[in-house]
Structure 1
Amino acid sequence: MFKGILTPVITVFDDRGKFDFEGNTAVINRLIEHGMHGLLFLGSIGEFFALTMEEKKEFIHFAVQTVDKRTPVLIGAGGTVPEEVAALTQFAEQAGADGVVVVSPYYFSLNAETIYHYYASLARSTSLPIMLYNFPDRTGSDLTPALVLRLATEFSNIVAIKDTVDNISHTRKLIQTVKEHRPEFTVLSGFDEYLIPNLMAGGDGVLCGLTNIAPDLFDGLLKAYRAQDFAKVAAAQAKIAILMNLYEVTNPFIAGIKGAVKLSGVPISTAVKAPAAAITEQQLEAVRAILAKAGKE
C-alpha cells in the first residue's frame, strides 16, 4: 500500500516552541512537489515524543488539510500508553489520515508475545491501515520476521513495516518471510542508504529523514534504478553516503536535519523541542560543509 520514497516530515516550530504553520506548509508543499509518495507526520524526526496529545491532534488536522489528498498521509501514533495510542489512531482515522505508523512498545525490552498483543489490540480498535515501526535501538525489542508474519496474516489492516535496523539482512529476512504469504505487505527501510538494497531484495522503498533535505535526490535515485541507469544510481548513492554524516552533527540529529533544510533554501526556524538542544553556529557550519561536499548547498 505504501511504496516508493516516503518522508518522515520535520515539525517546524517558531522560537517560542509553537507550531509555525507557514513554515510547515512550505516544507509539505516542497516535498509533494518533488514527488514524495507519502508523508509521515509526528514520527521520530517529527518530535512526537515532545508533544502533548492536544498538540498532536491540532497538528494532525493541519497536516491532513494541508496535504489535501495530494499524497498519502501517515500519522505517527506510537507511545507508552496503549489507550492513548488507540485513541490517537482513531482520531487520525476520523481526521482523514491514510494510515498510522506505530513504533513497538518501548522502555522495557518486551518479548514477542507481549508485543503481539499490543499490536493485535490496536488492530482490532481501528480499520485504518497500520504500519509497524521496528526500531530496536530505541525500543530494546526487535520485531522478528516470525512475529511480523503472524501479525500480517491475522490482521488485514496491518499492511506494512518500517524496518529501522542498520543491517539489510534483517530487512531481507522480513521481505522473504512475510511476502511469501502476503505479497502485498509493504516492507520499507528506515535507513536512507538502504533504498537500493531494499529494492533489490524485493522490498518496496524507504521512509527516511534525508528526504526532508534532498527529496529530488531520492526521487532521481528511484527513477534511475527503475530505468536501470546504474551510473546515475551510483552517483546518487555516493551523495547519500555523504549526507548520512548529517545524522552525527547534533544529538539528537533533529536540529541538524532542520539546519540542513534551512540551508537548502526553505525559510524555517531550526528550533527544536526540549530535551533536544538548539543547533550551534559551529554545528551549522558543519552541516553546510556536508551539504557542499554532496553538491546540495
Structure 2
Amino acid sequence: MFKGVLSPVITVFDRNGKLDYEGNKLVIERLIDNGINGLLFLGSIGEFFAMSMAEKQEFTAFVVKTVNKRVPVLIGTGGTVQAEVIEFTRFAEQAGADAAVVISPYYFKLNSTAIYRYYANVARSTSLPIMMYNFPERTAADLEPELVCRLIKEFPHIVAIKDTVDNISHTRKLIQAAKAVRPEFCVLSGFDEYMIPNLMAGGDGILGGLTNVVPGVFSDLMRAYKAKEMAQVEAAQAKISILMNLYEVSAPFVAAIKGAVARMGVPIVPAVKDPAADLTDEQQQRIKTLLVSAGVITADKE
C-alpha cells in the first residue's frame, strides 16, 4: 500500500512558535512536485512530541485539505496515553487521512505483551490503515518480527511498518518474516541511506528525513534503481551518504533538517519548538558545507 519514497514532513513554525501555514504549503507542494510517493505529517521530524492535541488536530485538517488526495497522507498519531492515541487516530480518520503511523509507547521499556495490547487496542478502535513505527532508540523497545507477525495476522488493516533501526540486517529479518505472513505488507526503512539495501532485500522503500532536503535526489534514485542504471544509483547514493551527516549537526536533528531545507532555497524560518534550540551560525555554516560537498547547492549560494 505504501511503497517507494515517502517523506516524514517537517512542520514549519514562525519565530513565535505558531504554525506557519504558508510555509507548510510551500514544503508540501515542493515534495509533491518532486515525485514523493506519500507524506507523513506529525512524525518525529514533524515534532509531534512538542505539539498540543489542538495544534495537531488543526494541522491534520489543514494538510489533508492541502494535499487533496494527490498523494497518500499519513498522520503520526502515537503517544504515551493510549486514550489520546485512539482519539487522535479517529480524528485523523474522520478528517480524511489515508493512514495513521503509530509509534510504540515510550518512556518505560514495555514487554511484547504490553506492546501487543497497545497496538491491538488502537487497531480495534479504527478502520484506518495503520503503519507501525519501530524506533527503539527512542522507545527502548524493539518491535520484533514475532510481535509484528502476530499483529498483522490478526489485524488486516495493519498494513506497514517503518523500521528505524541502524542495522539493515534487522530490517531484512523483518521483511522476510512479515512477507511470509502477508506478501503485500510494506516494510520501509527509516534510515535514508538504506533505501537500496531495503529494496534489494525485498522491502518497499524508505520513509526518511532527507527527503525534505533533496526530494528529487531520492525520486531519481528510485527511478534509476528500477531502470538498473547503476551509474545514476551510485551518484545519488554518494550524495545521500554525505547528507547523512546533517543528522549530527544538531540535537535533536530536526533543526538541522529544517536549516538544510531553508538553505536549499525554500523560504521558511527553520525554527523548532521549545525546548529544542534554533541553529547557531556555526551550525548553519556546517549545513552549507555539507550541501556544497554533496553537490546540491553551489558554494556561492546564500
**How many pairs are equivalent?**
297
Superposition deviation, residue 125 in structure 1: 0.2
Percent identical: 67
- Return the alpha-carbon distance in structure 1 between the equivalents of residues 239 and 27 of structure 2: 22
- Return the alpha-carbon distance in structure 2 between the equivalents of residues 275 and 248 of structure 1: 18
- Map of 1:289 onto structure 2: 289
- Map of 1:92 onto structure 2: 92
Superposition deviation, residue 176 in structure 1: 0.5
Matches for 1:50-89 after TM superposition, within 5 Å: 50-89=50-89
Structure 1 runs of 4+ off > 6 angstroms?
A: none
Superposition deviation, residue 172 in structure 1: 0.4
- Map of 2:19 onto structure 1: 19
| Per-residue Cα deviation, 1:173-195 (whole angstroms, up to 9, x for no partner) | 01100101100000000000000
Q: Which amino acid aligns with 2:172?
A: R
- Return the alpha-carbon distance in structure 2 between the equivalents of residues 296 and 255 of structure 1: 19
Runs of at least 5 residues in structure 1 that lack an aligned partner in the other structure: none
Q: Which amino acid aligns with 2:75?
A: I
| Per-residue Cα deviation, 1:109-154 (whole angstroms, up to 9, x for no partner) | 1111110000000000000000000000000000000100000110
- Map of 1:123 onto structure 2: 123
Q: Which amino acid aligns with 2:216?
A: D
TM norm structure 1: 1.00
- Map of 2:39 onto structure 1: 39
| Per-residue Cα deviation, 1:38-95 (whole angstroms, up to 9, x for no partner) | 0000000000000000000000000000000010000000100000000000000000
**Alignment partner of 1:213 is 2:213:** yes
Three-state SS of the structure 1 residue aligned to 2:181 is: coil
- Map of 2:169 onto structure 1: 169
**Alignment partner of 1:241 is 2:241:** yes
Three-state SS of the structure 2 residue aligned to 1:79 is: coil
- Map of 1:153 onto structure 2: 153
| Per-residue Cα deviation, 1:93-112 (whole angstroms, up to 9, x for no partner) | 00000001000111011111
- Return the alpha-carbon distance in structure 1 between the equivalents of residues 19 and 198 of structure 2: 35
Q: Which amino acid aligns with 2:16?
A: R
| Per-residue Cα deviation, 1:1-26 (whole angstroms, up to 9, x for no partner) | 11000000000000010000000000
Superposition deviation, residue 265 in structure 1: 0.8
- Return the alpha-carbon distance in structure 2 between the equivalents of residues 19 and 166 of structure 1: 32
- Over the aligned positions, Cα root-mean-square deviation in angstroms equals 0.4
| Per-residue Cα deviation, 1:253-279 (whole angstroms, up to 9, x for no partner) | 111101100010100001100111010
Runs of at least 5 residues in structure 2 that lack an aligned partner in the other structure: 298-302
- Map of 1:255 onto structure 2: 255
Q: Which amino acid aligns with 1:211?
A: T
| Per-residue Cα deviation, 1:189-221 (whole angstroms, up to 9, x for no partner) | 000000000000000000000000000000000
- Return the alpha-carbon distance in structure 2 between the equivalents of residues 296 and 262 of structure 1: 13
Q: Which amino acid aligns with 1:218?
A: F
Superposition deviation, residue 296 in structure 1: 1.0
- Map of 1:201 onto structure 2: 201
- Return the alpha-carbon distance in structure 2 between the equivalents of residues 276 and 222 of structure 1: 33
- Map of 2:300 onto structure 1: none
